Structure 1
């Protein structure tokens, strides 16, 4: 009697117990490493939040407690908000980040499109020069830029804090890699329909690059919100200070050894950046993972 063939997938091969144990062990190990990394990254923020609600007497005690015995958050945050213009520091940071980002995108998007989709003599040489620009730190042109701004009387202005960062080599590189994956047939069809290159860039290509733009926006906002080096050089007026420089003025002038109020101020100035990242996290992950994929 001929055997009846079982349909495909009717009988599954049993998985060896050793393979299942090895797979489970690898998953546990990977997740343990990820959890340890998350704890390591979040611990400073947790400690900042805890310290901001502790009274001065409990901050430097020998005992470590995650929650204060006497809640002192109202006093610390009230002192921080009343003794220094923290909201003005945060507003300066928002103006600085949005101003820099807007000009960076206006410059980087056409440049990246040209390097990705236009054929012109020396395109590869220009791209190499763009990559070499990534190797130049901001400290190199700091002195001539400071002298030029001082001669023009532009110190202690928003423009003086923004000007060195209007051209972002990293934005050009990131968007160029993303634009390379955009279909050439769509661009050719638009040209045949009489669409100008300007319209192709801003109405056709750019809307498809929102993941890359969002990813770069997060990088740019974090970098310039936390930048202390250049504002420390060109800003001496506390009213114009961005968050990191404002924290220095606040710590020197107001708090002294009041670390509860100091961490409360740091929490207030860190919150906008954390909220912005949580809002844009999905686009940020898409932009990082999709850039360069063809």
Structure 2
């Protein structure tokens, strides 16, 4: 019998069970992090398992986070860095993607192959040459040091190019007949239509750079410039012992804006990813 007659297929039950188990497995570290942020130190290291604390220590842990280290400054740094990176990435990636998707010129396929190669290169491979470049031009230990390695995003070019290819060529031809330049077509025609892809890419970019610890650890040592992941290391001390309550409280506060942003934009995120893979 079908689901319309009150019966659910075993395959549907199995699929939902797998999804629920996967979601629970993914959410478990976050739930545990919040749980630890509510406990005093003696309960954190207790042998018995307890999700909720016997003694609520949330006020003390979160108050210490906001007073013992400039966490709000770290988060402001993260907002500044992520906003600048995302803005510059869109300004560069959108015209590049439009050229690869809608313009005919010699070497286009070779350039797109280079974009795909860029997708395969991990950040760590380029860290040393980027560090030497930053030192040579004198931008280390500045906001510019946190931004310049990421101004061109191969993933952004790829995602926008895939989305632009799903837009009919007739729209582009009509815009040209109306006298629009190629750049005007990008910003006035293509980008408004590609807004789901823009939102999807924005989430990827913000999450990636908000959570980035590797490059900031290399590029800056001034506490006033530290982004959130580097800043919360102030609660980690090898000599006196890590204070896990405030550390987990700081981590919870740092993760919270990302969760809120994703929940607010999840519909456009899914649509952007889906449409971005329509054409090869």
TM-score band by shorter chain is over 0.9
Change (3 A) 1:16 1:29: closer
CA distance in 2, matches of 1:263, 1:272: 15
CA distance in 1, matches of 2:138, 2:64: 35
TM-score (norm: length of structure 2): 0.93
Q: What is aligned with 2:27?
A: 42
Is residue 71 of structure 1 aligned with residue 56 of structure 2? yes
Q: What is aligned with 1:216?
A: 201
Is residue 226 of structure 1 aligned with residue 211 of structure 2? yes
Q: What is aligned with 1:115?
A: 100
Is residue 205 of structure 1 aligned with residue 206 of structure 2? no
Is residue 25 of structure 1 aligned with residue 10 of structure 2? yes
Please list, as runs of the form range in 1=range in 2, the aligned pairs for 1:1-294 lying within 5 A after superposition.
15=1, 23-252=8-237, 256-293=241-278
Q: Is the 8 A contact 1:83 1:254 kept in 2?
A: no
Any stretches of 5+ residues in structure 1 without a counterpart?
1-14
Mean Cα deviation higher: 124-133 or 255-264 = 255-264
Mean Cα deviation higher: 242-251 or 41-50 = 242-251
TM-score (norm: length of structure 1): 0.89
Change (3 A) 1:76 1:68: same
Count of residue correspondences: 278
Any stretches of 5+ residues in structure 2 without a counterpart?
none
Q: 1:45 deviation in Å?
A: 0.7
Change (3 A) 1:254 1:185: farther
Change (3 A) 1:133 1:157: same
Q: Is the 8 A contact 1:214 1:283 kept in 2?
A: yes
Q: Which structure has the bigger radius of gyration?
A: 1
Q: 1:253 deviation in Å?
A: 8.6
